[in-house]
A = this chain, B = another copy of it.
Amino acid sequence: MPSRRADPLTLEVVELIGDVVTRYHQEYEHAASSHQLTGAQARVLNLLSLEPMPMRKIAQKLRCEPSNITGIVDRLETRGLVERRPDPADRRVKLAAPTEEGLQTADRLRESLDFAREPLAGLSPAERAVLRDLLRRMLG
């Protein structure tokens, strides 16, 4: 791939997207650590609060090796936020599911995780629709 020089406008948009990504991650980590969770733990807890799932599926969602999930769920389980249940349909499978306390933590986390909600408040509904359409096209 030859290095085509992008125009200044494109470069600025690329940089702005990088800024959004940076801020998003900072606020995500901060929100997680305010609940004594790491970013990875918060992501798994959020995932499970939507729907209990096998360890392997968590790894697929997070795009990492299944062996990593063992440790992350171990730590959430030690904290009493998640539990492992047998899968009646397949005894090899363990279903990870949030406890009642885990669901509450996930809810409180989600409230502080809607980073974009505040900045979007400054945009009109029409502008938000434009932003939505542009982002959709960016993501293909």
Contacts and interface: CB of A to CB of B under 8 A. Distances in A.
Interface in A61-120: 63, 107, 111-112, 114-117, 119-120
A111 B12 contact: no
Interface residues of A, number: 45
> What DSSP secondary structure best describes chain A's contact surface?
helix
Nearest to A25: B21
A120 B10 contact: yes
10 contacts: A3-B107, A6-B117, A9-B125, A9-B128, A12-B132, A13-B116, A21-B24, A119-B138, A120-B138, A134-B134
Interface of A: 1, 3, 6-7, 9-10, 12-14, 16-21, 23-26, 63, 107, 111-112, 114-117, 119-120, 122-123, 125, 127-132, 134-140
